[in-house]
Amino acid sequence: MYDRWCRDPQRGAQMAAEHRGAAPVVRLKVPYEEDLQITFFDVVHGEVTMGAATLDDLVLLKSDGYPTYHLANVVDDHLMEISHVIRGDEWMPSTPRHVLIYQGLGWGDQMPTFVHLPLILGTDRAKLSKRHGASNTLQYRHEGYLPETMVNFLTLLGWSLDDKTELLTRAELVQNFSLERIGKTAAVFNKDKLDWMNGVYIRGLSPEDLADRLTPWLERPAPEGGLPDAVLRPIDRGYLGAIVPLIQERLKLLSEAPGLVDFFFLDDLVVDDKARKALEATEAIPALDAVLARLEGAPNWLHTTLEELLRPLAEELGLKTGTFFGMLRAAVTGRMVSPPLFETMQVLGRARCRERILRALHKDG
């Protein structure tokens, strides 16, 4: 702390003489009587009292004539007629200084309402930082989080409607929000909860709305996370509309969509290692030959019809249903994990499914 040397007029004059020509600073003359208390009201913490003796004579104007933050902050807020100063708990120790500045400028009866918010912590209970994955809100949008999710999630960091409500629309938040319900306890930024909440909001969208939101993600260049560059843009909106219901339950982030649906759009199917292993099994060739034969008589290409035709085939071939469907899935999607198999085949269509099965058998279409 500053030693208050120049508060004494004689010492101040002595310093001025010794440093003649040097520009001085202007400090706040804090009353430092040992028992003097500075009290202010905070919406979250109630009446807060700090001893004046704990405060130093902070600089208000630097030697170059520019104000420090503390003076500029008070003057700026007053001139803009700021009604509420809402900031983090770490600013609480500065508030008594600001109270003294307001009073020193003759604005003591016009001070704003102070609201000090609880800190946001990482899961390790340390202050949230970049090492916890903290970022700005635009980055979360870039990662595929919905704006509805971020508003809901961030509001619940330090505020609650009650002890049980997790999901609130923006209209409900506007209707119910009050400063008085802000808690004193530091909030934990739980990324798993954010992902869960985003998945809930995605599942709550209509398929048409979700398709609209996914289109920009799918159409961006592949290096930026979009579909492979071989896929023609713009995306067929009707085709995408048929795909969206198949992946909606699985999505947690909009950015996951290109990786989940790329096989719907590719002419040259990319087969991953697990799918290739399934197709190299001894039973794969006779099983897929039997699938082609059975599908030749399909009266239509609805998923219900496909399932009725193919589900009994596993038992006829002496294969476990999971193994049989896994080989078929590998042939038509190039992967072992995909949206529901028969719904996927319906969207892909008869010609494309037949062509892919033939390719898996190393036969010409």
Instruction: Give me the active site residues, please.
Output: 130
Within a 10 A sphere around the Cβ of 135, how many other Cβ atoms? 11
Buried b (16+ CB within 10 A) or exposed e, 174-196: eeeeeeeebeeebbebeeeebee
Which residues pair with residue 49 across a beta bridge?
39
Give the span between the Cα atoms of 186 and 126, in whole angstroms: 10
Q: Is the peptide bond before 234 cis (omega within 30 degrees of 0)?
A: yes
Backbone angles phi, psi at 86, to 5 degrees: -115, 120
Residue 1's nearest CA partner among 37, 28, 36, 39 is 28
Residues 6 or more apart whose Cβ sits within 8 Å of residue 234: 215, 219
First to last CA, the chain: 84
